[in-house]
Amino acid sequence: MAEAAIAETPAAEAQAPLLAVNNIEVVYNDVILVLRGLSLEVPKGRIVALLGANGAGKSTTLKAISGLLKTEDGEITRGTVVYDGQVLNAMDPGAIVRRGVFQVMEGRRIIQDMTVHENLRLGAHTRPHDSQVARDIQMVYGYFPRLKERTGLAGYLSGGEQQMLAIGRALMARPRLILMDEPSMGLSPLLVREVFGIIRKLNEDLGITILLVEQNARMALEVASYGYIMESGKVVLDGTADDLRTNEDVKEFYLGGGGEQRKSFKNIKSFKRRKRWL
Amino acid sequence: MDAFLLQLLVNGVIVGMLYGVVGMAFVLIYKASQVVNFAQGEFLLIGAWVCWWTLTEFDIPFVFGFLITLVFMFVLGVLIQVVVLRPLIGEPIISVIMVTIGLSIFFQSLLNWMFGVFAQPFPRIFETPSMEIFGLQVQTVYVMSMFVSVAIMAAFAWFFKASKTGLAMRATAFDQQAAQSLGISVRHVFATAWAISAMVSAVAGVVVGVVNGVSSALSFFGIKVFPAVILGGLDSIIGAVVGGLIIGLLENLAAYVDVDLQWGNMQRIAPFYALILILMIKPYGLFGTRDIERV
């Protein structure tokens, strides 16, 4: 059913998508089946959201694309990850970064005992270190003026600043596709808004395609043009962001219990999760 | 202050710098790949023997022999990492430690078998074996070693602060997976760490070999690096240098006590007394890092 929906993706009919994940199956430690036949497409220049509950396999999907799966004893046992006409399955993470796919990992993962500047330089590891890098660092400071003022170790930055540094570090690699894993994690609502504003700006200014994994479905569907919803290793629903926002099931599961009719404790108690989607 | 004590202090600083250099080499491996390398002393030994062999066998100028040694050690370091340690990635730390102890025994025996157990003097390298500085007799090679040590330390500082590979190494030391997400090849980083470590240790090995002659006693020099790096904190490069200096000075002060008070062999064991004391008071060492915790 997911395949049928993909054909309706607006950009799909015009050209091949920048990233196509075709029916992949991922196994950890040779036994634990995490993704079972997941497919999705990310058209060039778009922001696509990948939503789902904890443990649905969202992060695993991103790691399967970026090759980081191999660092965790995971393996793609079936299906292909095709980026820009190339199959990424067997490549190591370094080769994938060099091709322009960069994953901003969950929890920011900045190098805490280095300065902001050093972290940014690290982002450019796959490029030759020249004057271009210095210029790009200035560009990142342009997007995140707050980072420029921080001269101490990156570990002492606030959560929001660390997220900005993680995004800035990704920009240093000059990626064409950023895989962003939970940029809103642990941030205050105001900062979440700021970070999503930045994500939208990067997409508009630099034309970077973004695959966005989020718990905060409301915010994600605001910036994304298309969304996929995952459950236990599969895509169970997909559609344009507008369609998803108005979909009753999505409202119920991700945008907060059916809206206005929740008025008394009685209603909350009788509110029952639907176990099945279809 | 009497001249003898002053002489010992100068010796202490010079030897301490060498401890510091070998300590940095040790810390480099530990930081990058979390391997406690018990074969660090053997790197000194191998370096010294290779240099001695090229000099005596081919009768070439010291500089060339030294360069050949560095190239050899680079290759050896990469080889050991790739052949012996790479397959052990993911194994328990104790297995890896046992393997490095095994490496140490293997190289000791191999070198004893190849070159014999007797100390061999280096061919004469400097015109004047010792020079006078501020009224003190200092061996020329020690003066050289001072310069070499400082140069290596400066090179390390530059390497980790400014070079791409150095930054990649620090990132790998902090968070391997995050480093990989940036496109850093962890295999490459590990191999480079071993190669540099082997080379730098060999430099120290050659210097000590020129002073004392080349024999398996050189690997004991490597063992004394342990108190130095533990004093400084296992994962701190600066700590290794400071620890090395302290141990070097301590050892020579102990020698003074030995001679003056007729206490016997304090010189040999003083560093290890220091080691025990430090572990009791500061288990992380003087400069060892604890994680940054934001409150």
Residues A28-80 pLDDT 10s: 988 999 999 999 999 999 999 999 888 889 999 999 999 999 888 899 999 99
Percentage above 90 pLDDT, chain A: 61
User: Is the model's pLDDT at B34 over the cut of 50?
Assistant: yes
Identify how many contiguous H helices and E strands chain A contains and give both numbers.
Answer: 12, 10
Per the structure, the complete domain to which residue B147 belongs is given by 16-219
Nearest CA in chain B to A69: B177
A234-240 sheet: strands from edge to edge: A101-104, A177-181, A209-214, A47-52, A226-231, A234-240
Question: Cα dist. B138→A216, B10, B133, B134, B203 in Å?
Answer: 70, 8, 7, 10, 19
The pLDDT value recorded for residue B196 is 94
Buried b (16+ CB within 10 A) or exposed e, B268-280: eebbeebbeebee
Nearest CA in chain B to A93: B183
Instruction: Count structural domains, chain B.
Output: 1
Among A196-210, B8-22, B253-267, the range scoring the smallest mean pLDDT is B253-267
Q: For A92-105, what is each residue's pLDDT tens digit?
A: 999 999 999 999 99
Contact B294 A156 (CB under 8 A): yes
Q: How far is B238 from chain A (nearest CA, A)?
A: 15
Instruction: State the DSSP code for A61.
Output: H
Per the structure, the complete domain to which residue A242 belongs is given by 2-251
Contact B183 A125 (CB under 8 A): yes
Nearest CA in chain B to A107: B178
Q: What is the mean pLDDT of residues A14-28?
A: 89
Strand A19-28 and strand A74-83: pairing?
antiparallel
Please check whether residue B27 lies inside any domain of the structure: yes
Residue B182 has its nearest CB partner, among A122, A129, A156, at A122
Q: For B84-141, what is each residue's pLDDT tens digit?
A: 988 887 788 888 889 999 999 999 999 889 888 888 888 877 777 777 777 777 778 7
Query: What value does the mean pLDDT of chain B take?
Result: 86
On the 0-12 / 13-18 / 19+ scale of CB atoms within 10 A, A84 is middle
Please check whether residue B253 lies inside any domain of the structure: no
Residues of A whose CB is below 8 A from B175: 109, 111
B182 touches chain A (CB under 8 A): yes
Which of A136, A190, A135 has the alpha carbon at shortest distance from A163?
A190
Nearest CA in chain B to A157: B294
Contact A169 B182 (CB under 8 A): yes
Contact B174 A111 (CB under 8 A): yes
Instruction: State the DSSP code for B137.
Output: E
Contact B177 A156 (CB under 8 A): no
The pLDDT value recorded for residue B266 is 77
Q: How many CB atoms lie within 10 A of CB B131?
A: 13
Contact A156 B184 (CB under 8 A): no
Please check whether residue A132 lies inside any domain of the structure: yes
Answer whether B243's CB lies under 8 Å from B285's CB: yes
Which of A234, A205, A228, A219 has the alpha carbon at shortest distance from A9?
A228
Q: In degrees rounded to 5, what are phi and psi of residue B37?
A: -90, 100
Q: What is the ipTM of this complex?
A: 0.84
Contact A71 B175 (CB under 8 A): no
Please check whether residue A258 lies inside any domain of the structure: no
pLDDT band at B75 (very low <50, low <70, confident <90, very high): very high
Residue A109 has its nearest CB partner, among B175, B291, B294, at B175
Q: What is the mean pLDDT of residues B255-277?
A: 79
B212 touches chain A (CB under 8 A): no
Answer whether B107's CB lies under 8 Å from B202's CB: no
Residues of B whose CB is below 8 A from A169: 182
Token readout for A53 is 């509950």
Q: How far is A247 from chain B (nearest CA, A)?
A: 35
- A226 or B233: which leads in pLDDT: A226
Q: What angle do CA B242, B247, B251 make, to 5 degrees?
A: 150
Strand A226-231 and strand A47-52: pairing?
parallel
B34 touches chain A (CB under 8 A): no
Please check whether residue A102 lies inside any domain of the structure: yes
pLDDT band at A13 (very low <50, low <70, confident <90, very high): very low
Which residue type sits at B19? Y
- B258 or B104: which leads in pLDDT: B104
Tell me the longest C-alpha to C-alpha distance in chain A: 65
Instruction: Count structural domains, chain A.
Output: 1
The pLDDT value recorded for residue A121 is 93
Which residue type sits at B135? G
The pLDDT value recorded for residue B36 is 87
Please check whether residue B254 lies inside any domain of the structure: no
pLDDT band at A277 (very low <50, low <70, confident <90, very high): low
The pLDDT value recorded for residue B81 is 93
Answer whether B9's CB lies under 8 Å from B249's CB: yes
Please check whether residue B40 lies inside any domain of the structure: yes
Q: In degrees rounded to 5, what are phi and psi of residue A23?
A: 50, 50
- A vs B, Cβ pairs < 8 A, gives 75
Contact A114 B182 (CB under 8 A): no
Contact B174 A113 (CB under 8 A): yes
The pLDDT value recorded for residue A11 is 45
Q: What angle do CA B8, B10, B15 make, to 5 degrees?
A: 90
Nearest CA in chain A to B183: A94
Answer whether B156's CB lies under 8 Å from B24's CB: yes
Q: For B190-245, what is each residue's pLDDT tens digit?
A: 999 999 999 999 999 998 888 888 888 888 887 888 888 888 877 788 888 888 99
Token readout for B2 is 């009497």
B180 touches chain A (CB under 8 A): yes
The pLDDT value recorded for residue A76 is 94
Q: How far is A219 from chain B (nearest CA, A)?
A: 26
Residue B289 has its nearest CB partner, among A66, A93, A113, at A113
Token readout for B22 is 């070998």
The Cα–Cα gap between A19 and A227 comes to 14
Disruptive mutation site among B181, B238, B291 for chain A (greatest number of A CBs within 10 Å): B181
The pLDDT value recorded for residue B15 is 87
Please check whether residue B173 lies inside any domain of the structure: yes
Contact B171 A92 (CB under 8 A): no
Instruction: State the DSSP code for B236.
Output: -
Answer whether A49's CB lies under 8 Å from A183's CB: no
Residue B181 has its nearest CB partner, among A109, A113, A153, at A109
B171 touches chain A (CB under 8 A): yes
The Cα–Cα gap between A34 and A238 comes to 20
Please check whether residue B9 lies inside any domain of the structure: no
Q: What is the mean pLDDT of residues A249-260?
A: 67
Query: What value does the mean pLDDT of chain A take?
Result: 86
Q: Which of A113-122, A252-261, B26-35, B274-283 has the highest mean pLDDT?
A: A113-122
The pLDDT value recorded for residue A7 is 45
Answer whether B25's CB lies under 8 Å from B246's CB: no
Residues of B whose CB is below 8 A from A123: 182
The pLDDT value recorded for residue B93 is 82
The pLDDT value recorded for residue A274 is 56
Contact B176 A123 (CB under 8 A): no
CATH number of the CATH domain containing A156: 3.40.50.300
User: Is the model's pLDDT at B65 over the cut of 80?
Assistant: yes
Contact A125 B180 (CB under 8 A): no
Could you tell me where the DSSP H helices lie in chain A? 2-6, 58-66, 93-98, 116-123, 131-143, 145-149, 159-172, 189-206, 217-223, 241-246, 248-253, 265-270
Strand A209-214 and strand B136-139: pairing?
unpaired
